[in-house]
Amino acid sequence: MRFGLFGGASRPAGHTGDSQSYGKFIDYVVEAEQLGFESVFLVEHHFTGSGQVSASLSLLAYLAGRTRTMRLGTAVTVMPWHHPLLLAEQAATVDLVSNGRLDFGVGRGYRANEFHGFAIDPAEAQARYEEALALVLKSWSSTERFSHDGRFWRFRDVVVEPRPVQSPPPVWVAAGSEGSVRQAALSGQRLLLDQFGSAEVTGRRVRWYREAQAEAGAQSLPGQIALTRGLMLVDHPAKVDDEIRRRHAAIAHLSATAQIPGRPAPAAPTGPFAVDTSDEATRAATIVGTPEDCIASLKRLEAAGVDYVLLNDPWGGIERLRFFAREVMPAFRREPVTV
């Protein structure tokens, strides 16, 4: 099983500056590489007021110079917010300066405050996503100038530079429904699974993806499906309840920042936050507990077909990553990581 990181820099509650949180996050990623983590996938969010990463490709370009082996991913780049030609240039630059380490995760957006802030009709999200992604991929593959007259973007006689090292960088899509999971497989895209589904739900999604690959005659390879999981590794069972309370508070905060300012929040969380937040469901959908508990949870995911887990741990810090690398990783590696 492979392990990576998910999330990004964010500002702690009560803090107003971003430089310290970004500096800590950069140090966190650099050490994670030394501990054996294989990737970092950054979120992209806007207008939250809580310092979440907005310019993910810019941060990945910096991390490209501070790391040597880490895959550098977006989870996800929200296609409707970006001009596709500029996005193709920026993403290709990250792939170039990292010597081919970009993982290009894409999505259509879901946060009400972002559609409101950018003054984009949510009903246009899918069409914008499809047009923008097609143009990015065309930009990376075209060797001659081309023009485009689309519904949302128009341009004349362009050739997009630089060229990415990978041809093209892997495209990852966030999906959960059977139709969208199967479509990702049929399109040759890699799959990002959310951090809220149980092992049973995750197993069904993995099967849908692999079945669709088989139907299309595509090769099933390790590392084509990445599952995000909250990490709440502790050194004593008595600490688990506090971790779960903190996770519930974090989900509630993220849900609140996704709402349109000045409008009443919905009675129940929406989008990815519209999930069961009971203690039982949280335990089933996170890597929580002592090292033995966490190993058991990961073994259940492994049995469900998962071979790549992205860990989301907004408050554990580098000490928890070291603990994980020392006590959990060796159960999934032939050679233990030295910490």
- Which 3-state string (H, E, C) describes 219-280? CCCCCCEEEEEEEEECCCHHHHHHHHHHHHHHHHHHHHHCCCCCCCCCCCCCHHHCCCCCHH
Mean pLDDT of 104-133: 97
The separation between the first and the last C-alpha atoms of the chain, rounded to the nearest angstrom, is 19
Give the chain's mean pLDDT.
Answer: 92
Q: Which residue has the higher pLDDT, 69 or 253?
A: 69
Supply φ then ψ for residue 250, to 5 degrees: -65, -40
Q: How many CA atoms lie within 13 A of 252 on its CB side?
A: 9
pLDDT value at 88 more than 80: yes
Q: Does the pLDDT at position 54 exceed 70?
A: yes
Backbone angles phi, psi at 6, to 5 degrees: -135, 140
Q: What is the pLDDT of residue 274?
A: 64
- ∠ CA 312-39-231, nearest 5°, is 20
pLDDT digit string, tens, across residues 186-205: 999 999 999 999 999 999 99
Token duo for residue 186: 């049929």
Q: How far apart are CA 138 and CA 188, in angstroms?
A: 15
pLDDT-derived band of residue 272, with 50, 70 and 90 as boundaries? low
Domain architecture of the chain: domains with CATH: 2-332 (3.20.20.30)
Among the listed residues 232, 207, 217, 237, the one whose alpha carbon sits nearest the alpha carbon of residue 328:
232
